[in-house]
Structure 1
Amino acid sequence: MKEVLKKISFFKDFSEEELEELSKICILRTYEKDEILFYEGENSEYLHLLIKGNLKIYKVNSKGVEIVLHRFNAMNFVAELANYANIAFPASAKFLSTSSVIKIHFQSLKDRFLNKTSFVLTLLSALSQKLIYMSDFVHNEMILSAEAKLAKLLCEQSELFASIKHNQLASFINMAPETFSRLLAKLKNDDIIEINNKQVIIKDMNYLKSLYEG
């Protein structure tokens, strides 16, 4: 475990002794696609660091429909606010591919290492980024139309279309697959985008941006 921690930038300022001590409160686990990291309502005993793969954070509404709050790629802490606030996880996490996670016993980490300035700043930076994500999510869900959400996805994460199925992409922006396919076809027919072998070619970036930037 110590050798794994050495390669992670979050721990670059840790001494050999500190890495050895940290390794004793860490568990390295591998998960398969569709496995659950945690469910909404579970206790947040461990701080989770995603070091390989990707996962989604989601909630399920009263109709049983998944609402995707965010998608994480490595290297990222996951749902660390629950650890800081000592609350149950406010949402669930499911893996989108084979992934690896370091589970760090949070109380032990807090007792020993949260007086280490560089590490605390790293955690605060990660938490700040999550708040930005949440603000963006609220804006997308409350303000943007379905067409605008698709346009934003195309402009900011077009590379996802090469590796992820359209129904999964639809779930990322909380859109019905049928709506996603219809809007995507419309953009192709209107010569706004082109898709060749799953590669998206944006032919009119200004038009797409106008849909969500206003």
Structure 2
Amino acid sequence: MRIQETISKISFFNSLSDEQIDEMSSISNVINYPKDSILYYESDSLNNLLFLVKGLIKIYKVDKFDNDIFLYHIYENSMISELISLRNDEIYCFSNAEFTEDSTILSIDFKKFQELFLSKNILTMDLMEILLEKTHQLQCIVNRELVFDATAKVAFMLNQDLEMFNKLKRQEVSFMLHIQPETLSRVLKRLVRNETIEIESGKVKIINKEELTSTFRGVGV
């Protein structure tokens, strides 16, 4: 697949003309990564703006006991990079990024992207929208880790990412939410008793979305 076609698949670049896509392709590369490989480590500095074209990435930190602390997933058609400035050429990494599936990324020279596009006010608003979404994502992580109890954590994930919940093993979900598997099981049984969800062949289906959202709504959000 040509780089131009890859760029066109990412919604962030939808407003670009064919000429601008050609210009973007001249400062970009497409890179494939196997499952379980590391994209970057916390405290690394990068010079490229990264987008996930295909696959799945786990973002996590490591505590002082060398335990992985899951933060969030990055899905295809999303920006990976965490920006704190549009003026600095380097992009600082605040966490670790690991591919959980065979994946493809688009890598763009950030300095040239600034010169050719942002300096001309091209894609500036689109980039600001992404950065605001990432800020909201961070707020959700703070709520999950510092405010929500186990029931609110499970309800929030079911509401926000039901497909991923059903895709993962229960032990993996427990790890992501930082709760015990037994606690997850109790919460799911309680939600079934309350007729908020139903579980068929191990898959969760939401049957009362309003009741589900009321479980975490108003708790730090």
Q: 1:8 to 1:79 in 2, by over 3 A?
A: closer
Aligned amino acid, residue 137 of structure 2: Y
8 A Cα contact 2:52 2:80, kept in partner: yes
Structure 1 residue 182 displacement after superposition: 4.1
Alignment-derived partner of residue 128 in structure 2: 124
**Which ranges in structure 1 are unaligned for 5 or more consecutive residues?**
none
Structure 1 residue 3 displacement after superposition: 2.8
Structure 1 residue 108 displacement after superposition: 1.7
Q: What is the count of residue pairs matched by the alignment?
A: 214
Which whole-Å CA distance do the structure 1 matches of 2:85 and 2:106 have between them? Answer: 15
8 A Cα contact 2:60 2:72, kept in partner: yes
Aligned match for 2:92, one of 79, 88, 95:
88
Which whole-Å CA distance do the structure 1 matches of 2:126 and 2:100 have between them? Answer: 25
Alignment-derived partner of residue 168 in structure 1: 172
8 A Cα contact 1:44 1:83, kept in partner: no
Alignment-derived partner of residue 158 in structure 2: 154
TM-score (norm 2): 0.84
Question: SS of 1:81's equivalent?
Answer: coil
Q: 1:194 to 1:99 in 2, by over 3 A?
A: same
Question: SS of 2:148's equivalent?
Answer: coil
Equivalent runs, 1:42-121 vs 2, <5 Å = 42-81=44-83, 84=86, 86-121=90-125
8 A Cα contact 2:82 2:93, kept in partner: no
Q: Give per-residue Cα distances to partners, 1:115-142, cap 9 Å, x unaligned.
A: 2434111111100100011111112211
Q: Give per-residue Cα distances to partners, 1:4-57, cap 9 Å, x unaligned.
A: 223433223334443223212211112222221111011121111011122121
**Which ranges in structure 2 are unaligned for 5 or more consecutive residues?**
none
Q: Which moved more, 1:3-12 or 1:133-142?
A: 3-12
Q: 1:204 to 1:120 in 2, by over 3 A?
A: closer
Q: 1:64 to 1:179 in 2, by over 3 A?
A: farther
Alignment-derived partner of residue 204 in structure 2: 200
Kindly indicate which of the two structures has a greater share of residues assigned to helix: 1
RMSD over equivalenced CA pairs, Å = 2.4
Q: Which moved more, 1:11-20 or 1:181-190?
A: 181-190
What's the % identity of the aligned pairs? 32
